[in-house]
Amino acid sequence: MTWTLARRAERLEPSAIREILKLTERPGVISLAGGLPAAEGFPVEALAEASAKVLRDNPREALQYAASEGYAPLREWVAAETGRQGLQAEASQVLITAGSQQGLDLVGKLLVDPGSRVAVEAPTYLGALQAFAPYEAEFVAVEGDAEGPLADALDAARGARFVYLLPNFQNPSGRCLSAARRHAIADKAAAIGLPIVEDNPYGELWYDQPPPPPIAARAGTEAIYLGSFSKVLAPGLRLGYVVAPKALYPKLLQAKQAADLHTPSLNQRIVHEVVKDGFLERHVPTVRARYRLQRDAMRAALERHMPPGCRWNVPAGGMFFWVELPTELDSTALLPKAVAAGVAYVPGAPFFAGGGHAHTMRLSFVTVTPERIEAGVIALARVLQEALS
């Protein structure tokens, strides 16, 4: 047989992160690489109770084919929750997805033609690049500063199919847009007719103060807004959602139906059972407390151990420190040495659609304990020191 690949398959590349996650599975390696939430923080008891309840009270419905839109009470919950954040979406605009990664894939499928320009931050979430790239997007990088993209820089994206934004504690940079910048971006995008796709997986993970309302709240009901239960409950459930403009919803729904018919009913009902009575208001603060300690541990360790010439942000939320090494260092080239020294990170270059930035890296503080964070940073600092000398 002679299989011929579609042209878009050229844009399906082995994931750098994926290959690195494999490295970190070696025993003895302290992983500051993967963005794996701390499994100790998963609300196992609540999920187990909910699962037992769903399979006791509504087993047939939980195990049967279901509507592609998602489980109606969960859609209502999402509409109410995003409403509290300032969005004005109805439950009829909510699509339940297999994590927000599937939301990104469906957005690409629906909106990207070969050669379509798609504006992204620099750096941006690697999973979004991977979702949009197979639809043969041409990426346009939007210039930014320490808090995120600059409103005026959107001019370069005029005519793009959309701009993809991750305003809260961005993966990978950890940065967070101010309220003023959000307004300026929403207004600029409106002025030049640039549609907004806003992704918010980390908004609940704030350690100092809650982030400002979403850009989509300013942009009215016209933006696409993505959310996820991965960071506030558990990622292995693969549950996220898209809130879409009414005009786009029917086609988005058809794309979802063609992709997998619907998100597993069992998972949707378990999560709804857990969240419906305010469980997250009690649970998420415990996640915040855990990660705040870990963030503080990483900050302290970086200050104590990193060699001169390295710079980093201090993220006010999320999961990541973003480190800039002296420009003569290449974090990709150094990775095997770091892993040999017992520590793993993610090189920064893959997060840039246009490449470059070889001297950057992403460090996650959510997977390992404060003690191991310090040990990892010490090992990393030693590798860097050696490379610099």
Comparison of 134 and 227: residue with beta carbon closer to a copy of itself: 134
Q: Decide: is 369 part of the binding site for a copy of itself (CB under 8 A).
A: no
Give residues 290-349 in contact with a copy of itself (rule: CB under 8 A). none
Q: Decide: is 146 part of the binding site for a copy of itself (CB under 8 A).
A: no
Partnered with residue 361 across adjacent β-strands are: 323, 347
Q: Rounding to the nearest 10 degrees, give the CA dihedral for residues 74, 76, 81, 82.
A: 110
Q: CB of residue 66 vs a copy of itself: minimum separation in angstroms?
A: 6
| Complete DSSP assignment for 268-308 | HHHHHHHHTTTHHHHHHHHHHHHHHHHHHHHHHHHHHHPPT
118, 194, 316, 381: residue in contact with a copy of itself (rule CB under 8 A)? 194
Q: CB of residue 9 vs a copy of itself: minimum separation in angstroms?
A: 5
28, 193, 308, 355: residue in contact with a copy of itself (rule CB under 8 A)? 193
Written as six digits, the tokens of 211 are 């982030």
Which of 201-209, 251-259, 300-308, 319-327 is the region at the interface with a copy of itself (rule: CB under 8 A)?
A: 251-259
Q: Decide: is 234 part of the binding site for a copy of itself (CB under 8 A).
A: yes
**Contacts with a copy of itself: how many residues (CB under 8 A)?**
89
Q: Decide: is 277 part of the binding site for a copy of itself (CB under 8 A).
A: no
Measured distance CA(314)–CA(241) in Å, rounded = 29
Please state, in angstroms and as integers, the Cα–Cα distance from residue 106 to each residue in 136, 255, 331, following that order: 14, 6, 32
Q: Decide: is 127 part of the binding site for a copy of itself (CB under 8 A).
A: yes
Under a CB-based contact definition with an 8 Å cutoff, are residues 231 and 202 in contact? yes
Give residues 41-100 in contact with a copy of itself (rule: CB under 8 A). 42, 44, 47-48, 51-52, 55-56, 59-66, 68, 97-99
85, 213, 251, 372: residue in contact with a copy of itself (rule CB under 8 A)? 251
Q: Decide: is 191 part of the binding site for a copy of itself (CB under 8 A).
A: no
- Residues near 132 by beta carbon (within 8 Å), at least 6 away in sequence: 104, 107, 108, 112, 118, 139, 164
Q: What is the separation of C-alpha 306 from the centre of its chain, rounded to a whole number of angstroms?
A: 27
